[in-house]
Amino acid sequence: MAIQIDQINPGSTAVIVIDMQNDFIAPGAPLETPMGMELMPRLQKLLGHARQTGMEVIFTAHAHRRNGCDMGLFGEIYPPIQNQVGLVDETAGVDIYPEVAPQRDEVVIKKHRYSAFFGTDLDIILRTRKIDTVVITGVTTENCCHATARDAMFHGYKVAFICDATGTYNYPDMGFGAIPAEEVHRVTLGVLAGSTAHVMTTDELIHKSRQ
Q: What pLDDT is recorded for position 2? A: 84
Q: Which residues pair with 171 in a beta bridge?
A: 179
Distance, CA of 56 to CA of 117 (rounded, Å): 16
pLDDT in tens, 33-63: 999 999 999 999 999 999 999 999 999 999 9
pLDDT in tens, 98-115: 999 999 899 999 999 999
Distance, CA of 134 to CA of 8 (rounded, Å): 10
- The pTM (predicted TM-score) of the whole model is 0.97
Q: Whole-angstrom distance between the N-terminal and C-terminal Cα of the chain?
A: 28
pLDDT in tens, 138-186: 999 999 999 999 999 999 999 999 999 999 999 999 999 999 999 999 9
- Give which of 159, 118, 164, 158 is closest to 141, Cα–Cα: 164
Q: Is 196 helix (H, G, I), strand (E, B) or coil?
A: coil
> Residue 144 catalytic?
yes
- Give which of 168, 178, 127 is closest to 144, Cα–Cα: 168
